[in-house]
Structure 1
Amino acid sequence: MARSLSRRAFLTGLVTWAGTAALLSSCRSGENETPGDQGPASGTRSSPTLPATTGTPAVVSSTGSRVRVVYWGSFSGALGEAEQAVVQRFNESQDDVELEYQFQGSYEETAQKLAQAVAARQTPDVVLLSDVWWFKFYLNGVIAPLDDFFQARQIDLADYVDPLINEGIREGSVYWVPFARSTPLFYYNKEAWSEAGLPDRGPRTWDEFRQWVPELVRSDGGTTTRYAFAHPNAASYIAWLFQGVIWQFGGRYSDPDFTIRLAEPAGVEAGQFYRSTVAEGWAVASQDPNADFVNGLTAAMMASTASLGGLSRSAPFEVGTAFLPEGPAGFGCCTGGSGLAILADKPREIQEAAFNYLAFATSTETTIFWSQSTGYMPVRKSAVESEEMKRFYEENPNFRTAVEQLPKTRPQDAARVFIPNGDQIIGKGLERVTINQEEPQVVFAEVAQTLESEAQPVLAQLAQRER
């Protein structure tokens, strides 16, 4: 049975955590603030249209006036425009709920502000939380279980894509509903591939990619003018991308019980591989991999599906996408992105009204619109299987890559997604390996020690929250 912490213990822990999170407030969201994430490609397809008649039967009783619901979001640029289009369509589709959208900044900034808002008892009603932040708020009892709302609306949870909905379930209840969900993809410059005489596909393995490297790297007078590959920094979620790579080498960040495994031999081998890509001169540690890719400074990269729309529009060359390359231990890839949650301290009427938006935003019709506009994956099976998406994938095969890769993904390791700041702790270590060229064995041992320390409060809270 779940148990809540005392309010004093909860607020003390949350405010302390908010102070730590403030250190990350300048970090960019790897999926919502990069130059490549700028919406659909012009000239390649028409903009999808969200049906104005999409229904959202209200759970709340009509009182003659609309229930006001405050929604905190994290998307800017074209992603923000697409999300606001969803909000507008929701407001126009019914007369019971008026959703007020409030942009809060990156995923990290949104999480930090929510922690502060909880302490001040001035929270929004519904919030977008990333894969690495929702669990913290679940653990502290901030977000509500949603099973009753799904049942009241007779929404079949089985229609949600299994790996995506399952990640938001704790103790048999749904707390976090997939909305903007992604996987990493291997992006490549088809023009560079053609010039190099390479097959029009991604490398099947990292060893194969290494064989292609000499044909992709360009130099002028001893200066590299084009690298074969780019690594992001911690702020752009290198730890998210390395999650798949460490699996590909037979390692992992941690076990589900928070036993840290990063510094074990397989993890160190994966770190040595990353270090060698830069040391050998064919990969670069980039401050902005998307921009470097578009500008032709790199021939390939791993990045989120959320980058697809913007890259397709802004790149002066045809962009290719592929599954992630395999390593010595085979394939490895995780999911990522964000989902919607409703605050637990709200009156029932407000929660029901907030759920009306959540149901609309994750409906079959809306997730089709959202996916076609952004590159994020549809979160409903009925959307993936719809004739509209089938036609869209035929015309835009790059958008199909993530959906086809999804069945091969696995849930992320607890150390990254459940330890507060775990993503950045690991990411800063990876920066030391790629940028500073420090020995992975030394760096990962230090990072593992930090993760072990940071895991202890989580384990204590879990012992109280889940029994």
Structure 2
Amino acid sequence: MKKVAQLFMTLFVVGWGLLVSAEPLTATFWYSYGGKNREVTEAMIKQFNESQSKYQIKGSFQGDYFQAIAKVRAAIVTKSPPTIFHSIPEVLPSLYESGILENLEPYATGDNPTDLKDFVPGLTQDGYFDYLGKEVPLFAIPFNRSTPLLYYNKDMLAEKGVNVPTTWDELREAAAKLTVREGNEVKVWGFEVPVDWWFWLAMVYQAGGSLTNATGTEAAFGEAGAEALQFWVDLVNKDQVMKHPPGQDYNAWEVTNTDFINEKVAIIFTSTAFLSYLTDNSSFQVGTAFLPKKQDFATPSGGTFFVMVKEAKPEEKEAGWAFIKWMSEPEQTAYWSKNTGYMPVRISAVESSLMKDFYEANPNYMVAYKQLQYAVRLPFSSELYTIQREYIQPHLEGPVVGVQSVEEMMQKAVEGSNQALAKGSQ
């Protein structure tokens, strides 16, 4: 009986060990999407979890990009951050230099590698940042990458005999021709764009400017930034052909998209991210085009990158990397692009017969990828996010609504940015 009991106990221990070892390695993933893009994200998390049994991803929606970053920072303080999250690139230098992000090079070249040479150069970490002479390892893998685009109502432009504008002057003329008034009421606006950093930044570079000087030590956007903002001020107040969408941050983006769908505006600037949404919900033919130029065509890129928290447990990192790799593989990035409008991040996905056939049938989806040839790189500065969120974004509306002059706003923005850059270099 004693031997039988010992045998039973041995079998129990072995069986329990096998059961425990069969438990998947789990990682937490915080994401920031609404609407259809959130649905696609959640469907892909589910697909990854069901495609294999070794890893499990627990996804959690954390609000918009800015709300999510605030939550990540708070979670780091309380020692409860997610294993992986995706982040807008402007905040990545400060996160990296604070020491919280994992070096992903060992993962990308290790036992479960990915083909780094297959990533679209303009969408990678190197393609986004000018490192200003710093040695920076790979810590971010591209995920949902985008550019701003010009969207237009093909029916409205055809009815008015208006060509798609390719310059600022042409945009101004088109907006005037497309604006429809009944008495003192505007029934259709010619143009609408959120008064937002991203679109303003594109125009800074289109006007021949840049965010900082070549060394990243001083702001260099003063003159071109003023020219870009004055263009909006004139369209809103002087020409009265641009609608100023109410609300802050993505609330203004939502208003712009809704106005376009409801045919209250003929031309808008918004993100590649909304291409699928706008196409599916508009009763008219939607067209897309490059952002118009002043001196040059130019566009920032946007969206987010995957990153991993350095303090996560090894087994969590293994699971987190497996998910990052899977999400960025050609098949998944092609699926993501077709169902959202974001660009595929892999060259082999763009060149696949699947995507070529899709682009032929849906040429609007190829415009952002082609526009990448004019993408600009931003300085790898820990103060980049501060410049965006403190010294530029909150103050762009002032001149548009007439409470401050463009010159006053830009002078304060340059002074504040210079102070931040000086502090960051210490």
Confirm or deny that 1:178 pairs with 2:136. Answer: no
What displacement does 1:385 show? 0.5
Confirm or deny that 1:302 pairs with 2:269. Answer: yes
Tell me the residue number matched to 1:386.
Answer: 352
1:171 maps to a residue whose letter is E
1:377 maps to a residue whose letter is M
Q: How does 1:21-60 map to 2 (within 5 A)?
A: none
Tell me the residue number matched to 1:116.
Answer: 74
Confirm or deny that 1:76 pairs with 2:42. Answer: no
What displacement does 1:75 show? 1.2
Tell me the residue number matched to 1:373.
Answer: 339
State the identity as a percent: 29
Partners of 2:381 and 2:263 lie apart in 1 by 35
Partners of 2:241 and 2:51 lie apart in 1 by 52
CA contact 2:398–2:404 (8 Å) conserved in 1: yes
Confirm or deny that 1:433 pairs with 2:399. Answer: yes
What displacement does 1:162 show? 0.6
Q: Which string of whole-angstrom CA distances, capped at 9 and with x for unpartnered residues, describes residues 341-373 of structure 1?
A: 010012222212210000001111100000001
Q: For 2:378, what is the secondary structure of its paired residue?
A: coil
The structure 1 residue matched to 2:43, chosen from 65, 85, 88, is 85
Partners of 1:378 and 1:424 lie apart in 2 by 32
> Aligned residues, how many?
391
Tell me the residue number matched to 2:188.
Answer: 226
Q: For 1:225, what is the secondary structure of its paired residue?
A: strand
Q: How does 1:304-453 map to 2 (within 5 A)?
A: 304-327=271-294, 329-412=295-378, 418-420=384-386, 422-423=388-389, 425-436=391-402, 438-453=404-419
CA contact 1:258–1:414 (8 Å) conserved in 2: no
CA contact 1:72–1:126 (8 Å) conserved in 2: yes
1:224 maps to a residue whose letter is V
Tell me the residue number matched to 1:37.
Answer: none
1:80 maps to a residue whose letter is R
Q: How does 1:161-240 map to 2 (within 5 A)?
A: 161-165=120-124, 166=126, 167=128, 171-199=135-163, 202-233=164-195, 238-240=196-198
What displacement does 1:449 show? 1.5
Confirm or deny that 1:129 pairs with 2:87. Answer: yes
What displacement does 1:120 show? 0.6
CA contact 1:419–1:451 (8 Å) conserved in 2: no
CA contact 1:275–1:437 (8 Å) conserved in 2: no
- CA 1:258/1:228 → structure 2, altered by over 3 Å: closer, same or farther? farther
CA contact 1:136–1:420 (8 Å) conserved in 2: no
CA contact 2:91–2:385 (8 Å) conserved in 1: no
CA contact 1:226–1:298 (8 Å) conserved in 2: yes
What displacement does 1:92 show? 1.1
CA contact 1:178–1:339 (8 Å) conserved in 2: yes
Tell me the residue number matched to 2:220.
Answer: 261
Structure 2 unpaired stretches of 5+: 1-19, 247-254
What displacement does 1:172 show? 4.3
Q: For 2:21, what is the secondary structure of its paired residue?
A: coil
What displacement does 1:322 show? 0.3
**Could you tell which deviates more after superposition, 218-227 or 392-401?**
218-227
- CA 1:282/1:87 → structure 2, altered by over 3 Å: closer, same or farther? same
What displacement does 1:195 show? 1.2
- CA 1:80/1:419 → structure 2, altered by over 3 Å: closer, same or farther? closer
Q: For 2:264, what is the secondary structure of its paired residue?
A: coil
Tell me the residue number matched to 1:36.
Answer: none
**Structure with bigger gyration radius:** 2
Q: Which string of whole-angstrom CA distances, capped at 9 and with x for unpartnered residues, describes residues 43-64 of structure 1?
A: xxxxxxxxxxxxxxxxxxx932
2:32 maps to a residue whose letter is S
- CA 1:444/1:415 → structure 2, altered by over 3 Å: closer, same or farther? farther
TM-score (norm 1): 0.80
TM-score (norm 2): 0.87
- CA 1:308/1:333 → structure 2, altered by over 3 Å: closer, same or farther? same
